Structure 1
Amino acid sequence: MVEKIIDPVDPALIEQELTPERFLRRTNKADNVIYVVDAKCAPHTMREIGRLREISFRASGGGTGKACDIDEFDLMAPPCRQLLVWNPHKREIIGAYRFIAGNDIKTNADGSPRIAMGHMFRFSPAFMRDYLPVTIELGRSFVRPEYQSTHAGVKAIFALDNLWDGLGALTVVHPEMKYLMGKMTMYPAYRHDCRNLLLAFLNLYFPDPDVLVRPIDPLETNADEQELESFFAGNDFKEDYRRLNAYIRDHGINIPPLVNAYMSLSPKMRMFGTAINHEFGEVEESGIFFKIDEIANQKKSRHIDTYIKDSM
């Protein structure tokens, strides 16, 4: 049974929790502000984030079905933290990311990491030993529906860019962290032929040769992998991306914005396969992983260097 989503939280209660010590940075575009909070220090803000997450994910074909999307990872000790973009003029949250740094990650009794990806992916001993302690796990990212369309005005165009300003700042605030890990979500309603070709492209250009992480319940596409791979040249990223994008656009849809954003983030990104998230509307989650030092220079300049400059 799908529950009715809770009422909006009074902005005045949120503003009381967005204190100076929780301020991270101003955004490069649209004059918004980024904060980092958690459910313990900012319960009202957490409740509004949970409300907006559920609205946004349901609108895309996913969601928990609960009145408010707040789970064990938001509430555990130590909790995941919430990086949020606040529009001070409209007094509303534009979007957010949930994250936890490797030095805060605990292990379960079976040795699996106590993170959101832990119930969908199996982590190798090498990953647990050499990578996880210096990795930030990202998840539950959303942009509220009003800011997802260019029809909402010029400031809406920069909503996702604002979130990336926040992620760039996190890499500076946590210099001990060397990697970022998360999931790219695709929804069941997305055309399966387009999805299959997109996943083939991602696996071709962003492989995980060391088999560091693998899905527990992998997506079964029933597609001919050789036929999909034959669509691409296999040695020319830009040309194969052009072919992929043209094919998908010819079917009246686009490559999901966040998938596009991650593909341009690092040429050495790794794909960890695609798992089915049974607890979140059967959405398809592809694990991704990349080294912070290998983020493309254009992205570093835009989202990391600007924070360093402003902090000096």
Structure 2
Amino acid sequence: MRLPAVATPPLWWSAARAGLGRSLARAARLDTAADFVRANAHLSPFAFVEQGLRFLDCRFEVDHIERDRLPSSGPLVVVANHPLGALDALALIQFIGECRRDLKVLANDWLMQLEPLRPLLLPVPVLHRGSALAALREARAALERGEVLLLFPAGEVSRLGLAGVRDGRWHPGFLKLAAAAQAPIVPIHVGGRNSLGFYGLSMLAKPLGTVLLPRQMFRGRMTRLPLRVGRPERPPPPQAERGVIEAQCKRIRQRLYQLPQALRDSGEETVARPGCLRALVEAISRTELLGHTPDGQEIRLGRGDLDSPLLAEIGRMREIAFRAVGEGSGKARDLDRFDPHYEQLLLWNPQRLELVGAYRLGVGARLLASHGVDGFYSTTLFQLGPQLQQSLPQALELGRSFVQPRYWNSRSLEYLWFGIGAYLRRHPQIRWLFGPVSISAALPLPARERLVAWFDCFHGADEGFNDAAQARRPFRYGGEPPRIDSRDRLSALTTLKSQLAEQGCSVPTLYKQYTELCEPGGARFLAFGVDPDFADCVDGLLWLDLQRIKPAKRARYIDRDPNAGLLPSGRPGRRAGPGASSTESSAQLEIADA
């Protein structure tokens, strides 16, 4: 039997519902909030927040050291717990706004009622039907513009449970946003709790607690909100699987709730802010000019102490570039004890006054004379056998190469190779190039295993180099090594590229370029190890014979006419022809030579 449809509700029901609504509004103190919004509707978003916190007599407290954990530029995702409600958002907006004004906030219906804040807000419907897709699109766009995105992954206010006042399940969508923009994630723990009455009502009826949430802002005075700021976390790789993202979401949530008790959290340091530009320009002017590139950039050679402006900027830019591909030292600057006695090959943009990229160079004969075998960085990762040690006087160690992300879609890496060629012309006694070349741990494990297996098969140690080097922490396969058809290199390479493409990655640029530089057998990876101090990346020890470089490559990089686009004089030359690597994209440049 079907009941007849009711076209309109009875009058008594409409009246009761209206009365209940007015009662709830009074109980929730919505009238007080509305009066405040009307009185301050003329204010800018950040001024409105400041006035609102003053009206509520609320202050946040944060350690001066932890303040510096917010990167001063670039895309950033800030996540926080949500113990109080709108007060959390107001305090965090003011805190982040003291450092950066390029802020967007994923906000629910309640926060959207604060009209002066709307320029900062991206609405996510909670109390009514609607799609959050528009807000997510705007969030992605904000991160692509290099802005800050603040959100509460739980999507609702914390409730009281067996573990105390805690957020509900965190939604891992913030990690997908961070992964797409390769934005670091900064967790912030907000201290505080609502009244026991609020938690009691929430247990009886969760929506009732939500409706009465605004009242919690007005229940007392002299509110102090302690903020604990964690160190930035690396985003997952853009192609990360769902299980990887969910595991990282749980880990970040756990670390956030450990912040109030921890003197330090286990994340990485914020990359150092730029130093004095005038001091850097003066330091660059004291380096040796090797030549100009066709587009007017300068290739230079220099060295410095660890506290010099030159090495400070090199270390800062290294860390930025390496973190962008899932590597990095985790320190504010990537510098070590080897830098002062190595030379630095630099690519400098004199128009923008910025460092584009660099290579670290160590002449074997000099390092042996001044520091012995232990003076080589490679010996921290690999034990070099007698055969290699005997060849060190004729070797040049390469390492720590990078191109900053702004220049990935350019010929910058090739320009550095022109600089290496110019350096080799000065040192004709050098026969060998060597050093660790890294594969990012951000790549899926099957991809790393396939890369190691393929390069070990076709470019590994031959009979003449057996036991020439051993990794101090050898790379180990999770199971059986991938099968490689050693009979046909080109067919095996096609298969490798196809398998990597299925996992959203490709052959690392430097592995590709080093092996393509030489005739067969000229470039070999003698051992593969894991570097725990460099985000657990996989290092292959390259050993390259300069006498086996392909003639065309030698003519291009080493025996090159210095007037063909790389001039020792102070003027740019004519544009060179298309290079062996005419473009470098962020998708290709997954590896930075460590």
Pairing 1:305–2:583 present: no
Corresponding residue for 1:143? 403
**Equivalent residues in 2 for 1:214-293, closer than 5 Å:** 214-225=470-481, 227-229=482-484, 232=485, 234-266=486-518, 267=520, 268-293=522-547
Give yes or no for contact 2:530–2:539 (8 Å, CA) kept in 1: yes
Task: State the 1:300 CA deviation.
Answer: 1.6
Give yes or no for contact 1:168–1:307 (8 Å, CA) kept in 2: no
Pairing 1:48–2:308 present: no
Give yes or no for contact 2:287–2:302 (8 Å, CA) kept in 1: no
Residues 222, 108 of structure 1: alpha-carbon distance in 2 compared, 3 angstrom cutoff: farther
The one-letter code of the counterpart of 2:379 is: G
Give yes or no for contact 1:36–1:84 (8 Å, CA) kept in 2: yes
1:9 aligned to which of 250, 275, 280:
275
Corresponding residue for 1:162? 415
Task: State the 1:113 CA deviation.
Answer: 3.0
The one-letter code of the counterpart of 1:8 is: P
Task: State the 1:167 CA deviation.
Answer: 1.4
Residues 302, 20 of structure 1: alpha-carbon distance in 2 compared, 3 angstrom cutoff: farther
User: Distance between the aligned counterparts of 1:30 and 1:236, measured in 2?
Assistant: 41
The one-letter code of the counterpart of 2:289 is: F
Residues 18, 195 of structure 1: alpha-carbon distance in 2 compared, 3 angstrom cutoff: same
Task: State the 1:265 CA deviation.
Answer: 1.5
Task: State the 1:179 CA deviation.
Answer: 0.6
1:39 aligned to which of 284, 289, 304:
304
Q: After superposition, what is the alpha-carbon deviation per residue over 1:72-122, rounded to whole angstroms, capped at 9, x for unaligned?
A: 0013xxx0111010112211111111110011223899x743211111101
User: Distance between the aligned counterparts of 1:6 and 1:44, measured in 2?
Assistant: 12
* Larger RCO (CA within 8 A; separation ≥ 6): 1
Corresponding residue for 1:173? 426
Residues 278, 42 of structure 1: alpha-carbon distance in 2 compared, 3 angstrom cutoff: closer
The one-letter code of the counterpart of 2:359 is: Y
The one-letter code of the counterpart of 1:127 is: L
Query: Secondary structure at the residue paired with 2:375?
Result: coil
Q: After superposition, what is the alpha-carbon deviation per residue over 1:124-178, rounded to whole angstroms, capped at 9, x for unaligned?
A: 112112x111100011111111112x3xxxxxx2011111111111211111111
- Structure 1 segments, 4+ long, off by >3 Å, are 106-109, 307-312
Task: State the 1:251 CA deviation.
Answer: 2.4
Identity of aligned residues (%): 27
Corresponding residue for 1:153? none
Pairing 1:213–2:475 present: no
User: Distance between the aligned counterparts of 2:306 and 2:284, measured in 1?
Assistant: 10
Task: State the 1:288 CA deviation.
Answer: 0.6
Query: Secondary structure at the residue paired with 1:9?
Result: coil
Give yes or no for contact 2:421–2:557 (8 Å, CA) kept in 1: yes
User: Distance between the aligned counterparts of 2:270 and 2:401, measured in 1?
Assistant: 21
Unmatched runs of 5 consecutive residues or more in structure 1: 151-156
User: Distance between the aligned counterparts of 2:557 and 2:286, measured in 1?
Assistant: 21
Corresponding residue for 2:349? 87
Task: State the 1:235 CA deviation.
Answer: 3.5
The one-letter code of the counterpart of 2:301 is: V
Which is higher, the Rg of structure 1 or of structure 2?
A: 2
Give yes or no for contact 2:383–2:469 (8 Å, CA) kept in 1: yes
The one-letter code of the counterpart of 2:451 is: L
Residues 307, 91 of structure 1: alpha-carbon distance in 2 compared, 3 angstrom cutoff: farther
User: Distance between the aligned counterparts of 2:328 and 2:432, measured in 1?
Assistant: 27
Task: State the 1:20 CA deviation.
Answer: 7.0
**Equivalent residues in 2 for 1:188-207, closer than 5 Å:** 188-207=441-460
2:368 aligned to which of 103, 106, 122:
106
Corresponding residue for 1:70? 335
Task: State the 1:184 CA deviation.
Answer: 1.5
Residues 42, 170 of structure 1: alpha-carbon distance in 2 compared, 3 angstrom cutoff: farther
2:388 aligned to which of 127, 142, 152:
127
Query: Secondary structure at the residue paired with 1:204?
Result: helix
The one-letter code of the counterpart of 2:531 is: N
The one-letter code of the counterpart of 2:494 is: R
The TM-score normalised by the length of structure 2 is 0.47
Residues 307, 44 of structure 1: alpha-carbon distance in 2 compared, 3 angstrom cutoff: farther
Corresponding residue for 1:118? 379
Task: State the 1:311 CA deviation.
Answer: 6.0
Residues 177, 160 of structure 1: alpha-carbon distance in 2 compared, 3 angstrom cutoff: same
The one-letter code of the counterpart of 2:437 is: M
Question: Considering only aligned residues, what root-mean-square deviation do their CA atoms show, in Å?
Answer: 2.4
Unmatched runs of 5 consecutive residues or more in structure 2: 1-265, 570-594
Query: Secondary structure at the residue paired with 1:106?
Result: helix
The TM-score normalised by the length of structure 1 is 0.87
Task: State the 1:41 CA deviation.
Answer: 11
User: Distance between the aligned counterparts of 2:560 and 2:370, measured in 1?
Assistant: 38
